[in-house]
Amino acid sequence: MYNDWRKDMGDSVRALDAIRDTVLPKIITGKIHSIENSDKEILILMDALSGIDYIREDDKGLQGIAARVQWGNNWDTFTIRSERHTGNKTELQKRQEQIDQGYFYPYFTLQAYFDNRQDNNLLSIGIIRTIDLYEFMAFYPEKVHGRKSDNCFLYVKWCDLGNRIRTYHSKSGAVTG
């Protein structure tokens, strides 16, 4: 049986691959390696246990990136799952534990919005240091909003994050941050 999360993962990889050489270098330097489809045990563990979807390589070393891709609207937010209908641990719980207890976690959090899954025309993309995002959420809870679908999500608007974030909007072609 084919699971929806596998389709979402494949679609996300294809969407980010579409901007790998054009837009990604505008918001983050270095070479970006996808580990989503890897069959290497250590990379599978980095993805499954640490939430690292991509690795950034530059002249100083390696850093992990967590990536979320959505289609249809340009919401300009970072969205974090805060409660699962299954009761399993969420991205929010895992990331907070990883940060607090010194485990591997993605150095960056990236969120991208595309028009649709077929064309994958980028609408906007934002990237932030994960620690900055989680500290912002802790220090400014009034700027953290909730949303419920099949699961519960928290989101932070990019415009509230000030100089902590780098963004790119296709409509203007502008990079900020």
Element (H, E) at 110: strand 108-114
pLDDT of residue 5: 64
Q: Are 123 and 114 in contact (CB under 8 A)?
A: yes
Which tens digits make up the pLDDT trace of 93-113? 999 999 999 999 999 999 999
pLDDT of residue 121: 97
Cα dihedral sign for 10, 14, 16, 17? positive
Model-level pTM?
0.92
Dist CA 115 CA 125 (whole Å):
12
pLDDT of residue 88: 86
pLDDT of residue 139: 97
Dist CA 81 CA 133 (whole Å):
14
The tokens 């909730």 sit on which residue? 146
Q: What residues pair up with 63 in beta bridges, in sequence order?
A: 56
pLDDT of residue 144: 98
For the chain, first and last CA: distance in Å? 43
Q: Are 65 and 53 in contact (CB under 8 A)?
A: yes
pLDDT of residue 3: 44
Dist CA 144 CA 87 (whole Å):
22
The tokens 């299954």 sit on which residue? 86
Q: Which residues of the chain have pLDDT under 50?
A: 1-3
